[in-house]
Amino acid sequence: MLPRILIVDDSSLIRGSVRRLFESVPGWLVCGEAVNGQDAIQTAQVLKPNIIILDLSMPVMNGLEAARVLSEDLPAVPLIMFTSFITHQVEKEAIAAGVRQVIAKDKPITDLVSAVKSLVEPEAA
């Protein structure tokens, strides 16, 4: 399964950087972007991605709140939280909300690519 990725982050700089990175991987498609959790839910219902990258801290609706709704509405779609705010408690809450992996923004960006590969191309991980 080749990824159709939805990127959710309130920073246009982060969204653009992640988009460029993912689009440099052959066969990967960024099907859309969203600026907050509420926008993510609406956009995911229309675009039907098969993986969603969520920031934690966003206005209107944060990533944890969005993850709870998305994991219920689209249970087969893996969620990855890509955030600057990682603590043990955040990881625990994210997993409880349906997030499969939590990746720190201060880690090498290749960690995010590897996380996507492990969820959509398990044999390549």
Average pLDDT over residues 2-10: 93
Any domain includes 78: yes
- DSSP letter at 100? S
| Domain housing 22 | 4-87+96-113
Instruction: Tell me, yes or no, whether 22 lies in a domain.
Output: yes
CATH assignment of the domain containing 107: 3.40.50.2300
E strand or H helix that includes residue 112:
helix 110-120
- Which pTM was predicted? 0.92
Local confidence band at 120 (pLDDT 50, 70, 90 cut-offs): confident
Q: Answer whether 51's CB lies under 8 Å from 116's CB.
A: yes
Q: What pLDDT is recorded for position 32?
A: 97
pLDDT digits (tens, 9 = 90+) for 85-100: 888 999 999 999 999 9
Total tally of structural domains belonging to the chain: 1
pLDDT, tens only, 28-68: 999 999 999 999 999 999 999 999 999 999 999 999 999 99
